[in-house]
Structure 1
Amino acid sequence: MKVQVFTGNPIQQNGSVVYNDQGDAVIIDPSCYERFEQQEWVDFIAENQLKVHAVLNTHCHIDHVTGNAFCVNTFDVPLMAHKEELFTLSFAERSAQMYGLVAYVPSPEPTVFIEDKQVLRFGDLELEVIFGPGHAVGHVAFYHAASKTLIGGDILFKGSFGRVDLPGGSMDVLKKTIHERIFTLPDDTVVYPGHGPTTTIGEEKRTNYILQF
């Protein structure tokens, strides 16, 4: 499995195209907001002859859904998220106004709801859903066991972790998620977070200041 990260929109969120050698692909947390960012995504997918099967959201804070409408409409695919994220998505337009995202096109609601431990299959590409609330009520991560790769959204960052002061956030719940759902993955699992550089489970188990709480 391969991951192409696109850091975009004014909040600098890491969206990604996840794909395999057969050309099966999904878009996760599309960060494309400006027109030039949208074109970068379209060009990459066309140049690599990828078949996009779906758009997935780890969660629905505004910075993770700026490209939802564009990608769903451009590639004519379903939007998939955890049902609890309808709560988070309900704040998106208000958040767009707060952050000055005047060009934000409202995200459609998910048409497919995903659940903890569900294995999603897109052609020959498989991703396991890991339910991980705390930063958002319906936050999930996507794990590819064969390559030990985690698309983690805003659960865990390199040296840090997701904020818990937004509606639906909880430090106690996030700590439980990190310790019981994320830190139990193999140490050499590569983590692609929603913001900042990649890291590994092992590195964060040794150094992340979540351990101080």
Structure 2
Amino acid sequence: MPLTVRSFVVSPFAENTYVLSSGGEAALVDPGTATREERRQVEDYLEAEGLAVRHLLLTHGHIDHVFGAAHFARTLGGAAEHGGWQMHPADGPLLQNAPVQGERFGVRVDAPPPAAHDLADGDTLTVGDTTLRVLHVPGHSPGSVAFYDEAGGQLVGGDVLFQGSIGRTDLWQGSMDTLLASIRDRVLTLPDETVVYSGHGPATTVGAERRANPFLRDL
């Protein structure tokens, strides 16, 4: 079965939390769910679709993507591979300091547990009948990753590339040069028809951003 991508727009940051599913299995990606009601929406969807959560995945460790990380580690971690969240180790300090990040933005964040498993560029993950490849795409944060479904032509990209824009680089260890290199070398090398599911805003395609994104004109 092809990979289904279901998004939930959550929190004051209007973050996209994703459930990726295929063949009765699911991956929960970037739980930005900041309230009990938002978390219940995700849980109700998993239950209604009869999905077993195989992977808990983080594209990066900024607070708007981890509000619900502590909750879902408790409720879903025991049955997930590696027993908890998987992320690139370069963003470990961000995850560890999520409550401090929250204080700087004036919001409360439950302290997530440390990542249970480190992701690396080129790793593969299986969700039902779908294989996801991990792409390390630093720049927005040092450990940003994207999850690429080559067979389905889909990329879950976190805050690397948006419709008409790119991720901010003014936060801890962000780098505009590094981000643009990641987009040039890891994203724009994908087929134009690849659908990009971003951490905020609507989905787009590689081709649309190649043609019209003002930040990519010189790439």
Is the aligned partner of 1:167 residue 2:172? yes
1:176 aligns with 2:181: yes
Q: Counterpart of 2:206? A: 201
How far 1:48 moved relative to its partner?
A: 0.2
Specify the alignment match of 1:50 in structure 2.
51
2:97 to 91, 115, 134: 91
- Conserved in 2, the CA contact under 8 Å of 1:25 and 1:125? no
Distance 2:14 2:216 in 1: 26
* Moved beyond 6 Å, runs of 4+: none
Confirm or deny that 1:39 pairs with 2:40: yes
Deviations 1:96-123 (A, max 9, x none): 1122323x21111111101101111244
Q: CA RMSD in A?
A: 1.2
What is the TM-score with the length of structure 1 in the denominator?
0.95
Q: Which amino acid aligns with 1:202?
A: G
CA contact (8 A) 1:88 1:137 kept: no
SS of the equivalent of 2:60 reads coil
Corresponding residue SS for 1:165:
coil
Tell me the distance in 2 between the aligned counterparts of 1:123 and 1:160: 32
The aligned counterpart of 1:64 is 65
**Matched-pair contact (CA < 8 Å) for 1:6–1:31:** no
Match of 1:15 in 2: 17
User: Counterpart of 1:5 in structure 2: which amino acid?
Assistant: S
- After superposition, the Cα gap between the structure-2 partners of 1:12 and 1:64, relative to the gap in structure 1 and judged at 3 Å, is same
Letter aligned with residue 198 of structure 1: A
Q: Does 1:80 align with 2:86?
A: yes
Post-superposition Cα deviations, 1:25-74, rounded to whole Å, max 9, x if no partner, equal 01000121101101101100000000001210000000011111111111
Output the amino acid matched with 1:152.
G
Unaligned runs of 5+ in 2: none
User: How far 1:211 sits from its partner (Å)?
Assistant: 2.2
Task: Indicate how the Cα distance of structure 1 residues 90 and 74 shifts in structure 2: closer, same or farther if over 3 A, else same.
Answer: closer
Task: Kindly indicate whether the alpha-carbon contact (under 8 Å) linking 1:128 and 1:143 is maintained by their aligned counterparts in 2.
Answer: yes
1:129 paired to 2:134: yes
| Matches of 1:34 and 1:89, distance apart in 2 | 19
The TM-score normalised by the length of structure 2 is 0.93
**Native 8 Å contact 1:192 1:198 kept in 2:** yes
Write out per-residue CA displacement over residues 15-34 of structure 1, whole angstroms, 9 at most, x where no aligned residue. Answer: 100001x1110100012110
The one-letter code sitting in structure 1 at the alignment partner of 2:14 is Q
CA shift, 1:210, in A, is: 1.5
| 2:21–2:127 Cα contact (<8 Å) kept | no
Deviation, structure 1 residue 9:
1.2
CA distance in 2, matches of 1:137, 1:193: 17
Shift of the alpha carbon at 1:75?
1.4
Aligned residues: 211
User: Which residue number corresponds to residue 192 of structure 2?
Assistant: 187
Does residue 211 of structure 1 match 2:212? no
CA distance in 2, matches of 1:97, 1:61: 13
